[in-house]
Amino acid sequence: MSDLLEAVDELLAAHPADQDDRALREARFDAGLAFVHFDPGAGGRGLDASLQAEVERRFLAAGHMDWSDRNIIGLGMAAPVIHEHGSPEQRARFLRPLFTGEEVWCQLFSEPGSGSDLAGLSSRAELDGDEWVVSGQKVWTTLGHVARRGLLVARTDPDVPKHRGLTYFLLDMRSPGVDVRPLRQMTGDAEFNEVYLTDVRIPDHDRIGGVGDGWRVAMSTLMNERVSLGGGAGERGSGPIGEAVELFRAARAQGRAGAAARPGGGPTAPVRRRAAPGGTRCGRSAGRGRAPTTATRTGPAGRTGSPTGGRPGAAARGAPARRARRAGRAVDAAAGS
Residues involved in catalysis: 235
CA-nearest of 260, 257, 262 to 245 is 257
Do 39 and 46 contact (CB within 8 A), yes or no?
A: yes
Helix axes 314-336, 239-253, angle to 10 degrees: 80
Cα–Cα distances in Å, from 281 out to 241, 273, 276?
Answer: 37, 6, 5
State the DSSP code for 204: G
Q: How many residues does the chain have?
A: 337
Cα–Cα distance measured from residue 301 to residue 312, given in angstroms and rounded to the nearest whole number: 15
Q: Which helix (H) or strand (E) holds 169?
A: strand 166-172
Cβ-based neighbour number of residue 310 at 10 Å: 16
